[in-house]
Amino acid sequence: MGVYWAEIADKNQTDRQIQFLKRHLKPNGYILDVACGTGRHSIPLSKEGRTMVGLDISAKLLRIAKQRWREVQVVRGDIRFLPFKSQAFVAAVSIDTSFGYLPSQEEDILSITELQDTLEKGGMFVIDVFNREKLILKYREENHSFKWKEYPSFFLKQKRSVSQRGNWLCDSWIIRDKASGRLMFFDHNVRLYGRSELEDFMDRVGFAVERVYGGYEGENFSPNSPRLILLAKAK
C-alpha cells in the first residue's frame, strides 16, 4: 500500500499546503512534521532552509522519503509516545488529515498532549483536518460512488460515506495495478472532528488557538469550508 499511498498523497494539493506552511512557520529552529509519510512537505521545506524532522510509524513510507532525498531527517515512531525531549521544537505540523487514525479519541488527545510537551513555550502547532460539517452535508444522505481515477502506476475507484453519527469518514478503495492488472481492496477510515471539539481538546492539553482557517489560501472558516486548520501556540 505504501507506493500507492505515496502517489495519492503527492497529487493532493501538496504545493498549496507547502505555501501555507511557509507563511506561518518560523525560518529558524527545529520543526516536527507529524505523520510525514514520504516527506512531501519535509523535503521541500528542508531544501528551502528550514530544519525539518519527519516522524512516521510506517517504515515503508520513510524508506520512500529517504529514496527521494537522502538528506531528509526522519524518525520512525508512534505519535502517542514521541521519542523527543521536552521543548525540542519551535513548531509542529500535522497536515492533510494526519490526525484521527488512532484507535480511540483518548489516544488522539494523548497524541496532542505529547506534541505539546515537545514544543517550546509559544511554539506553534498547525493542525489541518477535514471539515466535518462540510462532509456531513455532502455524504451523509447516501454513499457516493466515483469513477476510476488514474495515478502513475495504478487506477483508483473510491466509495465514500460518513457514519450515521457523523464521527467517521469511511472510504472503500479498489486499486488496479497497471503493471500486473491485480485488483486490491482497502478500507480507509478517519475520525472526524468539529471546530469546537478540536478547540476544546487543544485548550485541555495546553494550547491556545490563535487562528482558524477554512483553506490553504487563508480563507475564513465556515461550515462549508473544505478544511479545518487550527494554528495554536503552546502555553
- 9-47 pLDDT, tens digit each: 877 799 999 999 999 998 899 999 999 999 999 999 999
CA neighbor of 129 nearest in space, from 196, 183, 194? 194
Write the DSSP assignment of 192-210 as a string of letters: ---HHHHHHHHHHHTEEEE
Region 136-153: mean pLDDT is 80
* CATH architecture type of domain 133-190: Single Sheet (2.20)
> What is d(CA 107, CA 225) in angstroms, rounded to the nearest whole number?
26
Q: Is the pLDDT of residue 146 over 80?
A: no
pTM across the whole model: 0.94
Q: Is the pLDDT of residue 151 over 60?
A: yes
- pLDDT band, residue 166 (cuts 50/70/90): very high
Helix (H, G, I), strand (E, B) or coil at 159: strand
Query: According to the model, what pLDDT value does residue 145 have?
Result: 62
Domain-wise residue ranges, the chain: 2-131+194-234, 133-190
> What is d(CA 20, CA 112) in angstroms, rounded to the nearest whole number?
21
- pLDDT band, residue 152 (cuts 50/70/90): very high
Superfamily of structural domain 2-131+194-234: Vaccinia Virus protein VP39 (3.40.50.150)
On the question of a common fold for 2-131+194-234 and 133-190, the answer reads no
> What is d(CA 2, CA 10) in angstroms, rounded to the nearest whole number?
12
DSSP 220: B
C-alpha cell at position 89: 521544537
Pairing, β 227-234 against β 30-34: unpaired
Query: According to the model, what pLDDT value does residue 143 have?
Result: 57
